[in-house]
Amino acid sequence: MSVPPASVLERPIRLVGSRDRRLEATDFAALERASREIEIVCATGDRFTARWSGVPIPSLLEIVAAPPETTHLLVDSRDGLRACVSVEDALEGLLAVTKDGRPLSESDDCATRFVAPGIDGVRTVKGVARIETTTLAPGVDPEDRERRGPSA
């Protein structure tokens, strides 16, 4: 399966860890892809399974040297949604650019999506703008760090 690199990232993605980086389309195109089957479950009860492919989250964390004490990732969309996902879940995830072999830009109306097994549908952020590592103290509710978008 191949996706023309130019069409993959329409806009750069900001990555924040120990370092701060802008991931441009050419950087993204150079990263190794992986694919995996992930079931997405919405709070409404809707669920569907798809085969997603994209860049594994650990590769992105490497680029910004995620601090070892990282407990969660904050994943922001371009439309104001913010998900706070445990790093254990996120490490199994992808910054996806295809679903069932087709570019997301054809099926969804955005080119990228954060997906990981076992996270709620609302946290599969479409149109990823930024991913930041964070360390939550024990007892802090990750949901307090989230923002709901216009439609979620």
The binder of Mo ion chosen from 1, 30, 42, 65 (CB under 5 A): 42
Rounded to 10 degrees, the C-alpha dihedral 73/93/111/126 comes to -50
- Minimum CB separation from ligand MTE for residue 147, in Å? 11
SS3 74: strand
List the one residue from 58, 103, 121, 149 that touches Mo ion (CB under 5 A).
121
8 CB neighbour count, 10 Å cutoff = 20
Q: Which is nearer to ligand MTE, 46 or 144 (CB)?
A: 46
CA–CA separation, 92 and 87 (whole Å): 9
Q: Please, which residue, 79 or 89, has the CB nearer to ligand MTE?
A: 79
Q: For residue 103, which phi and psi values (nearest 5 degrees)?
A: -55, 140
Residue nearest to ligand MTE (CB): 121
User: Could you say which DSSP state residue 126 is in?
Assistant: B
CB 126 within 8 A of CB 77: yes
Q: Residues in the site for ligand MTE, rule: CB under 6 A? A: 42, 77, 79, 81, 121-122, 124-127, 149, 151-152
CB of 56 to ligand MTE, least distance (A): 19
Smallest distance from ligand MTE to CB 77, Å: 3
Which partner from the list ligand MTE, Mo ion, none does 149 bind, CB cut-off 5 to 8 Å by kind? ligand MTE
**Complex with Mo ion: residue 103 or 121, whichever CB lies closer:** 121
Nearest residue to 143 via CA among 83, 75, 78, 77: 83
